[in-house]
Amino acid sequence: MERLNVLALSGSLRTDSYNRKALQIAKRFASEWGANVTEVDLRELDLPIYDGDIEAKGFPESVLKIKSAVEAVEVLLIASPEYNHSISGALKNAIDWLSRGDNSLNGKIAAVFGASAGGFGTVRAQPHLRQILEALNVLILPQPQLFIKTAHEAFDSDGSLKDKKTEERLKKLVHQTLEIASKLAQK
């Protein structure tokens, strides 16, 4: 069977983001599993805020770029921060653009997880993300779920997670998502 293609995406733009850190670990687990892994950086991409008038003039280059990056893969790894009990505006904006024209997310399989500074570790944001992605026909496994709480204390200076059980759970989430994707790809 051909190798699975995976695209990693962080909903936080900031350089020292805990979600970016968690995403790097998830990418490593996906590579170790045997997938081709690439990442799209929403800060570098600099998507405009969705505006129907911009769309009416034709998709901007940055939108075409993220749409083709998503269309080229079977699996997405999405690390989402929690902003005011929901996902970040940057992530929602990217998803809104991806849904326009042909829905670039249609039929994708995603692993979603998140890190937050609070004690609940994105437990309120992730159901929102699942709901939005479900609207676009993205398959997300019900379990395992991963909430990295008190994220400012969760990572070692080398970027690894201090709690090895949490790291193991992230590995399980990535590997189980890839197993399902590979089974579906064989049908």
Ligand X SMILES: Cc1cc2nc3c(=O)[nH]c(=O)nc-3n(C[C@H](O)[C@H](O)[C@H](O)COP(=O)(O)O)c2cc1C
Residue 128's contacts (CB-CB under 8 Å, 6 or more residues apart) are 86, 87
The answer to whether the beta carbons of residues 11 and 79 sit under 8 Å apart is yes
Any contact of residue 81 with ligand X (CB under 6 A)?
yes
Site residues (CB under 6 A) for ligand X, limited to 84-113? 84-85
Binding mask 144-163 for ligand X (x = CB under 6 A): -------x------------
Any contact of residue 116 with ligand X (CB under 6 A)?
yes
Half-sphere exposure of 85 (CA within 13 A, CB side): 0
Any contact of residue 17 with ligand X (CB under 6 A)?
yes
SS3 12: coil
Any contact of residue 14 with ligand X (CB under 6 A)?
yes
Per-residue CA distances from 100 to 19, 155, 182 (Å):
26, 37, 27
CB of 139 to ligand X, least distance (A): 25
The residue at minimum Cβ distance from ligand X is 118
Any contact of residue 12 with ligand X (CB under 6 A)?
yes
